[in-house]
């Protein structure tokens, strides 16, 4: 007997723009994101908060893309980067990615940045923003 994988609960009507129902109705759609249950999301956020280096962050970005289909780009924002708030986070458009999750992932990464500012310096250096510093 095979059981279907546990899927994320639906958001209350009118509170989210994740379009979960349309994703479930389309059999050809990539539904990997729906495997991110609330328990798994808490584990992911805890893991993102505990990042200590840029290679670790890049590894987690790659794993999120492979396992859940979440494409997250992290880089300097449109204005000057004077603090961790100047770092921009952009998610590729994806059905099923909850609005709450789109806010909590960058918040967890920012907490990690505040605890380990060397990650921000390495990120900016990889973007070639600190070449003259």
E strands present in 1-133? 72-76, 87-91
Q: Where are the alpha helices (DSSP H) in 34-128?
A: 38-49, 54-68, 99-115, 117-126
The pLDDT, as a whole number, for residue 31 is 82
What's the predicted TM-score (pTM) here? 0.85
The pair of structure tokens assigned to 108 is 């967890």
- The proportion of the chain whose per-residue pLDDT surpasses 70, expressed as a percent, equals 86
Please answer whether residues 129 and 81 qualify as being in contact, where contact means their C-beta atoms are separated by less than 8 angstroms: yes
Q: Please, which pLDDT band fits residue 81 given cuts at 50, 70 and 90?
A: low
Instruction: Answer yes or no: is pLDDT of 25 > 70.
Output: yes
């Amino acid at each position: 007997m095979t059981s279907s994988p546990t899927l994320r609960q639906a958001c209350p009507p009118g509170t989210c723009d994740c379009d979960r129902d349309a994703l479930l109705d389309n059999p050809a759609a990539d539904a990997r994101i729906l495997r991110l249950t609330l328990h798994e999301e808490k584990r992911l956020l805890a893991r993102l908060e505990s990042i200590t280096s840029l290679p670790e962050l890049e590894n987690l970005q790659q794993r999120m893309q492979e396992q859940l289909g979440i494409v997250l780009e992290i880089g300097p924002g449109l204005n000057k980067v004077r603090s961790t708030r100047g770092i921009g986070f952009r998610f590729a458009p994806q059905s099923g990615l909850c609005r709450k999750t789109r806010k909590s992932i960058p918040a967890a990464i920012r907490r990690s940045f505040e605890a380990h500012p060397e990650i921000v310096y390495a990120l900016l250096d990889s973007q070639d923003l600190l070449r003259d510093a």
